[in-house]
Chains A and B, each alone.
Chain A
Amino acid sequence: MGLAWQWIVPLISISYLGLLFAVAYFADSHSGKSSSLINNPYVYALSIAVYCTSWTFYGSVGRAAVSGVGFLPIYIGPTIIAAIWWPLLGKIIKISKGNRITSIADFIASRYGKSRGIAAIVTLIAVVGIMPYIALQLKAVATSLNVLVHHLQFGFSDEKFASPWGDTALFVAIILALFSIFFGTRHLDATERHEGMVAAIAFESIIKLLAFLAVGLFVTFSLFDGPSSIFKEAFNDPQLIDLMGFSALPGGYASWFSMTFLAMMAILFLPRQFQVLVVENVNENHIRKAAWLFPLYLLIINLFVLPIAFAGNIIFPNGGIDPDTYVLTLPIFGEQQWLALFAYIGGLSAATGMVIVAAIALSTMVCNDLIIPALLRFQLLISEDLSRIILNIRRGVIICLLMLGYLYFRLIGESYALVTIGLVSFAAAAQFAPPILFGIYWKGASRRGAIIGLVAGFIVWTHTLLLASFALSGWIPESFLTDGPWGITWLRPHALFGLDIFDPITHSIFWSMLVNISLLVGVSLFDKQTAVERIQALNFVDVFEQGAKGGDAYLWSGSVSTFDLKRLVARFIGPNMAEQKFSNFIKINRLVLPENGQAPSRLVAFAEQRLAGAIGSASARIMIHSIVKGEEMDLEGVMRILDQTSQVIEYSQRLEQKSAELEAATQQLKQANTRLKELDRMKDEFISTISHELRTPLTSIRAFSEILHDNSDLALEERQKFLGIVIKETERLTRLVNKVLDLAKLESGLMEWNTVQIDLIQITKDAIDTTSKLFEQRSVKLEITLPEKPIMLYADQDQIQRVIINLLSNSVKFSPEGSGLVRIGIRREVDGIGLEIEDNGPGIVEDEKIRIFDKFHQVKDQSGENLLGGSGLGLAICHRIIEHHKGHIWVESEPNQGATFIFILPTTKPKNS
């Protein structure tokens, strides 16, 4: 081997990191524009694949080589929960955008009343919990580097295994720390999103996938003849065949179950996953595609894990080679040095991606939720421009984190496989699940409940996994494990209270979730929430409901000047940015600033949100509090305002409704009154008319009767003539009285109806026959245009006939004697069929068209004593009859052009009327 691999490999590693940085730089220069590289679901899905760390890249094969399918739950869990990302994650993202959430600690703290305490606890758990994970990446990179160079240099001979650079892991830690600083803390505005980092992560996800597939294809199809040849060979090996079932899985189905659960929680609540899923999300709709693209990525990257693991076990049978390194050693065994190098780059991608995102996420949390609150408390932040200080704090935190990771690696790294270390971190992240999931679906979850649950869960985790891992690597006496601390056997870390049926991870998950959830729920049920808590709970749980937001603005009742507010925000995000944001907000919301310089409470709430984006919600709250004069309202104050406001709103709404109703009623009353007056007037007219009409026949009857009575010697002929007049006048009187009675019956509903199937044509012909004498008398011509075929309707035959007769006799009356012409025909409308009767009389003026159907109404210009319908009742009766049949009647007319009366009856059979 002539090549100096110990220099080539590090050089390529550094160059690769440089390339990543170029990608990030390029993406950053396009950030926030329409050409933004990361504003699409594919980059989003790829960035989520930061989930696949070197644990996946090297550790999956390692675990598969000793436990068969034991590596799979870590990828199946995320697949299952990704299916409900759209509703679940969608809600979390919506909340986070509304509250300018910068980290998972910020999210939990914001939900539970913007509490600094809970933010600090979450941060501590995250740092301690993720430490093993960072150590795992350091170990993977360092090991892969050493293994690669060693085997490239010496092949598989028995050369002594030694790192050519001394402490490789330390160098790796330093380089990764510098790199994370470049990525995450370049901006001075310290806002929450990092587009360059996301682009670089997505790029790395592609590289690691390609590298792993390349190794998989090479091993499967070049070293062997496809997957079946590998499995067939393994099938005949009594040691390997067991790996094809569940018997090889330590912990069995319980372990499978708990690992699936862990992975489901970890994919959402590991700080780095929360960072890429929620904080770096550009558009909520990207979740839709990511929900199946990301699982697909997992499926593809795992496709060759089993073939590689079995191939490695077949090729290196005696356990001389660590299965965690098969991905590197198999290509070298196949004499493909450059492929091995590519595989190494893939592993490096996986590790650096995780470290960078985790370091940025954790540094944000440590800075915002631990250090700044502490500095604020001790009043150490006196400088005017703090944005630079904040960035420097974050840089320092990143270096500390990597060094802590290195320390953990030194402490226990050698004694554990990659997967086991990773699962310890997963179990820590799972502690965040109860406060978040309960927090976004249950308003009752309280701050104290969340804190006590978290702390208890974390203590159980520390005892059963973290301290146990120290004991396993010899830093604590082994009796801690076997006999329990201080010899108390029921406190043994892997068998709390004697529960020893589970593997350590399942055991720890069982107890920690049990205490976490039960304390969260139990304490919350007996707790009393503060105002901020209640408002935040409402904002979180009802985030999709309209108008849920807005309680926030009530919280600041004290006074502060706009100038002070702006200066405070400027200290953290820079003066130019602050000026711009403020004027934008004022313009968009059309705020009117009062003369005295006081800031409206909405502006104070806005400033708090802006600050939260830079330093976290808890610290932002403290900062605002420090400059607002006057007390923040207490629970009762806020609730009273909210209640009063809603009461007043409700009351005024009711009032408005009432007055609208009142107005409508008044309008109706007015109309009714007008109508009543009209009716009253008509009634007076009617009475005078009817008196006149009644008196006329009565007068003649009386006159002729007196003549007959007084003159007994009257000639028979004359006597007959007078009696004839008396009879005729009596008949006229009877008709008149009958009509009045009929109308009264119709109005009171006492009329008896006999609804049957009738033929309109036949009835019309009968009516024409009945009235033919009238036509002859006045020598008015009648034109009949009726079809031959019968028209069947459901109606009362007598009443309809009466209507037709009435209309016909009316038309005769109004037609000029001698030259009169009446036409009768069928009229069809959409809602039925009926008759039209046209005359060439004087016509009817517009005003009268409706009123002629009123009772007591008489057409003004009518004259002549012989008019039969002069009572003004005929049309009113027609109107009532047609109305009763659910039909309608009206008149079409122009003055001096004659009039046409039309009635229409429905053709459908009426429901019992």
Chain B
Amino acid sequence: MNHANYNRTKHRLIALSIAGFLALNYPMLSLFDWLELKLGIPVLFLFLFGFWGFFILLTAMVIENSPGEER
């Protein structure tokens, strides 16, 4: 795989990681800190697990769409 592609994937992953860290910390989290049930599940739990799953999905997509082998 060529260097440019590797760098592209690398930058995407770093951006994703930063976005994840920001979304899962104060003050973003405080937006979901209200005591209410949605679909029978507390809103905070729903956001945390939902975003978590979404984040994993994005990571998988970025990585699996990049060519593998040598860097």
Contacts and interface: CB of A to CB of B under 8 A. Distances in A.
Interface in A260-308: 260, 285, 288-289, 291-292, 295-296, 299, 303, 306
Interface in B1-42: 9-10, 13-14, 16-17, 20-21, 24-27, 29-30, 33-35, 37, 39-42
Contacts of B52: 76, 79, 295, 299
A260 B37 contact: no
B17 A241 contact: no
A292 B60 contact: yes
Contacts of B29: 246, 253, 256
Interface in A65-86: 68-69, 72, 76, 79-84, 86
Contacts, number: 106
Contact of A288 (B17, B45, B63): B63
A79 to B, nearest CB: 6
A76 B24 contact: yes
Interface of B is mostly: helix
Contacts of B69: 285
Given A69-B48, A80-B17, A227 B41 contact: yes
A232 B20 CA distance: 30
Contacts of B71: 90, 544
A291 B13 CA distance: 11
A87 B71 CA distance: 9
Given A79-B55, A246-B33, A256-B29, A299 B42 contact: no
A770 interface: no
Contact of A83 (B44, B49, B59): B59
Contacts of A585: none
Nearest to B61: A292
Contacts of A80: 17, 20-21, 24, 55
A76 B40 CA distance: 23
A345 to B, nearest CB: 27
A393 to B, nearest CB: 38
A81 B17 contact: yes
Interface residues of B, number: 37
A171 interface: no
A95 to B, nearest CB: 13
B56 A295 contact: yes
A696 interface: no
Contact of A86 (B10, B35, B56): B10
A398 B51 CA distance: 41
A303 B56 CA distance: 14
B27 to A, nearest CB: 8
B16 to A, nearest CB: 5
A228 B10 contact: no
Contacts of A303: 49
A229 interface: yes
A69 B9 contact: no
Nearest to B26: A253
Nearest to A302: B49
A250 interface: no
24 contacts: A83-B17, A84-B10, A84-B13, A84-B14, A86-B10, A87-B13, A228-B39, A232-B37, A235-B42, A241-B35, A244-B35, A244-B42, A245-B34, A245-B42, A246-B29, A246-B30, A253-B29, A256-B25, A257-B26, A288-B63, A292-B63, A295-B55, A295-B56, A295-B59
* Top 9 A-B residue pairs of the complex, sorted by shortest distance between their CB atoms: A228-B40, A253-B26, A244-B42, A292-B60, A83-B17, A80-B20, A292-B59, A87-B10, A83-B59
Given A235-B37, A244-B35, A285-B69, 7 more contacts: A69-B45, A69-B48, A244-B44, A245-B34, A291-B59, A295-B55, A299-B49
